Structure 1
Amino acid sequence: MLKIFMDWYRRRFSDPNAASLMIVIVSLFIIIYFFNKILLPVFIAIVLSYLLDTPVKYLSNKGIPRTLSVIMVLLIFISIVLLSVVILLPLIWQQGVSLVRNIPAMLTFLNEFLTTLPQKYPELIDVGLFDSVIQSIKDRVAQTGNSLLQFSIVSLFSLLSVIVNAVLVPIMMFFLLKDKEKIWNYCSKALPRNRRVLNKVATEMDQQIGNYIVGNVLHIIILFIVMYIPFWFLGLDYALLLAFIVGLSVIIPYVGIIISTIPVILVALFQWGLSAEFGFLVAAYIVVQMLDGNVTVPLLYSEKLNLHPIVIILAVLIFGGLWGFWGVFFAIPLATLVKAIINSWPKTPPTKLTKQSS
């Protein structure tokens, strides 16, 4: 047994490049796992820098100096963020608080709707069970609503830290965009010398993470706008909030679409019942989701990841459990990173090992 383990160890770790790669991976994992809250502004700045790197490169290729390109792109980005914070976020927050307050009434309506079902299917449905389940959900929602209101009051006291991060993040973004090559060269000095495999994996992941972040953000914005149009046209309550939830659902592969569909259907059912408007909304929702899956996703994610759905779901569960929101957001790139490491990992032929041992 020990001989088998030692043969496997020599085959996988005898190459100095493999040892260097493992040291860097373990070091990054320890730093991110234990210091993720402290380094959160740094992570946000890195993600946004990846997002803005494409327009900066575009302006630089047009002959504009890189520093001036970074300043122009940052000013446009900050202007868009400020407009969103001033106009969109307050409306979404108000609709969210209003929706939480109205959920007990919506559940009461749903309870009344469900109580009519036992008359049609008395042998399948227990009215008492429905009443207890609905009442339990209403109590939990009421507690959530109170907690949400308390959170909105308590969050005012953390405004100082938000302001500090709002100043630090753009500054870090400026230097990350302006001195990207210098920063990478400086960090390379601290890396092991035998880093051929590490450089290969880093180059591949740098491109894939950049494409993934840009594609994911564009996907959220496009789905949010396209979904808001039929919601607004049909007069659905909380249209802005629900479209925002549907847009964010792309962060969680496969599961997100199911989660975001539930509030849309419940709000529409509460507002219109089983009517023609409800049917139009469901039809529009299905059409938009089909167009999104067959048109938007292939255009934005042109590079095939070749990851099985089970692998993606496991990545969401594992990395989401480790790092929360950011683990879920980067679940697919992290799964791709693991795959790239496995494929690039140097292997020593068993015959060579046998000759060396003899």
Structure 2
Amino acid sequence: MIDLFSKWYKDRFSDPDAVTLSVLLLFGFGLIYFFGALLAPLLAAIVIAYLLDWPVNRLQRLGLNRTGATVIVVTLFISLAVLALLGLLPTVFKQGSNLVRDLPSMLNQSQSYLLTLPDKYPEAIDSEMVASITDNIRNKVLASAEAIVSFSLGSLINIAAVLVYCILVPLLVFFMLKDKQSLSLSVTRLLPENRQLAAQVWIEMNGQIMNYIRGKAVEILIVGSVSYVVFAVMDLRYSALLAVLVGLSVLIPYIGAAAVTVPVALVAMLQWGFTSDFWYLMVAYGIIQALDGNVLVPVLFSEAVNLHPVAIIVAVLVFGGIWGFWGVFFAIPLATLVKAVMNAWPSEKAQTDLASE
């Protein structure tokens, strides 16, 4: 057993570049795992900086210097973000509070409908079972509603921290964009000399992360906007709130789309029952999800499409369990990173074959 492990270690870690890459990966994973909460503003700033780097580069090509381009792009981004939040958040919060307020009546309505099922299908459905299920659902939903309200009230205590983040994150984004080259050189100086393999993996991942973040932002905007138009045209209740949920659901591949279908279908059923309007809405919603998965995602994430769906779901579960939101958000790039490292990792046999050639 020891000989087998020794042979495997010699085969995989005989190259100093491989040792450097493994140390950097372990350091990065450990840093985010143990200090992820403290680094949340930095991670948010990195994501926004990746998103805004492309327009800054475009303005530079038009003749502006890096500082001027950064000032223009960051100012426009903050202005659009403030306008979007002021226009969207009040509506979403209002509909969310209305939904919490209407939950008891919605539960009574759904319970009344479920209690009619034993009369319609006496051989398949037992009335006591239905009553037990509805009571459990009622208790769970009301407990969740109370948790949401208490979370909202408790979050007011952290309003000072939120305000600090609102100032800190834009400043980090500004300096990351303005001093991109000098910051990159400073980080490079801290790395070991044997970093050729790490540099190779980073060059590949840097472009993929940039494309992923930009594509994910575009996907959220398109899916959320189209969903809102469909929900509003069909006069679905809580249309803005549900559209936001649908848009944000694309952050979690496969699982998010399945999870957000439940509230959409539930609200539609309680509003219209199993009428034609309900089925029209579900067909339209299904078309949106189909176009997102089969047209939008392949166009925006051509590299990610090469990953097997099982690999993506496992990445969401593993990295989400380790790092929470950021693990879910970066699940696909992290899965691509694992794949890139496995493909680029040298072995003694490969080096021997290369030397013989």
TM-score, length of structure 2 as denominator length: 0.95
Question: How far apart are the structure 1 equivalents of 2:68 and 2:270?
Answer: 52
Cα-to-partner distance string for 1:96-146 (whole Å, 9 max, x where unaligned): 122123223222222222222223322221221121121122122222222
Shift of residue 304, structure 1, vs aligned partner: 4.8
CA distance in 1, matches of 2:56, 2:301: 21
Do structure 1's residue 202 and structure 2's residue 202 form an aligned pair? yes
Q: 1:139-185 deviations in whole A, cap 9, x for unaligned?
A: 22222222222222222221111111111111110111111121111
Determine if contact 1:101/1:145 at 8 Å carries over to the other structure: no
For 2:121, the aligned partner's letter is Y
The aligned residue for residue 48 of structure 1 is: 48
1:179 is matched with which residue? 179
The answer on whether the counterparts of 1:315 and 1:334 sit within 8 Å (CA) in structure 2 is yes
Question: Which is worse superposed, 57-66 or 97-106?
Answer: 97-106
Q: Give distance in 1, aligned partners of 2:227 and 2:220.
A: 10
* Match status 1:212 vs 2:194: no
Aligned AA for 1:113? Y
SS in 1 for 2:225: helix
Please give the alpha-carbon distance, in whole angstroms, between the structure 2 residues aligned to 1:131 and 1:223. Answer: 38
1:44-73 per-residue CA deviation (whole Å, 9 max, x = no partner) reads: 000000011111111111222121111111
Mapping of 1:331-342 within 5 angstroms? 331-342=331-342
Partner of 1:356: none
Letter aligned with residue 115 of structure 1 = L
Q: Which amino acid aligns with 1:302?
A: S
Q: Which amino acid aligns with 1:208?
A: Q
Note if 1:269 corresponds to 2:269. yes
For residues 9-46 of structure 1, the C-alpha deviation after alignment (integer angstroms, 9 at most, x for no partner) is 00000100000001111111111111111111100000
Distance in 1 (alpha carbons) for counterparts of 2:19 and 2:95 = 53
Quick one: distance in 2 between partners of 1:59 and 1:131?
Answer: 64
Which residue of the partner structure matches residue 295 of structure 2?
295
Residue 292 of structure 1 aligns with an amino acid whose one-letter code is D
Taking the TM superposition and a 5 Å limit, the aligned residue runs for 1:75-90 are 75-90=75-90
Match of 1:97 in 2: 97
Question: % of aligned pairs identical?
Answer: 46
Note the residue ranges of structure 2 that are not aligned, 5 or more in a row: none
Partners in 2 of 1:223 and 1:86 — Cα distance? Answer: 20
Q: What residue identity is the alignment partner of 1:230?
A: V
State the alpha-carbon separation in 2 of the partners of residues 15 and 321 from structure 1. 32
Deviates more, 1:162-171 or 1:82-91: 82-91
Contact 2:111 / 2:134 at 8 angstroms: preserved in 1? yes
Q: CA RMSD in A?
A: 1.6
The 8 Å contact of residues 304 and 332 in structure 2, kept in 1 or not, is answered as: no
In 1, Cα distance between equivalents of 2:290 and 2:96: 27
Matches within 5 A, 1:300-315: 300-315=300-315
State the SS of the aligned residue for 2:336.
helix
Corresponding residue number in structure 1 for 2:112: 112
Corresponding residue number in structure 2 for 1:36: 36
User: What is the aligned partner in structure 1 of residue 164 from structure 2?
Assistant: 164
Pick closer, same or farther for the CA change 1:272–1:351 going to 2, 3 Å: closer
Aligned pairs, number: 353
Partners of 2:294 and 2:140 in 1: CA distance? 38
CA contact (8 A) 2:227 2:288 kept: yes
Gaps in structure 1 of 5+ consecutive residues: 354-358
Q: What secondary structure is seen at the aligned counterpart in 1 of 2:190?
A: coil
Task: Give the aligned residue type for 1:24.
Answer: L
Alignment of 1:315-334 (within 5 A): 315-334=315-334
Mapped contact 1:104–1:141 kept (Cα < 8 A): no
Structure 1 distance, partners of 2:86, 2:265, is 29
Which deviates more from structure 2 when the two are superposed, residues 326-335 or residues 278-287?
Answer: 278-287
Question: What secondary structure sits across from 1:340 in the alignment?
Answer: helix
Amino acid at match of 2:45: A
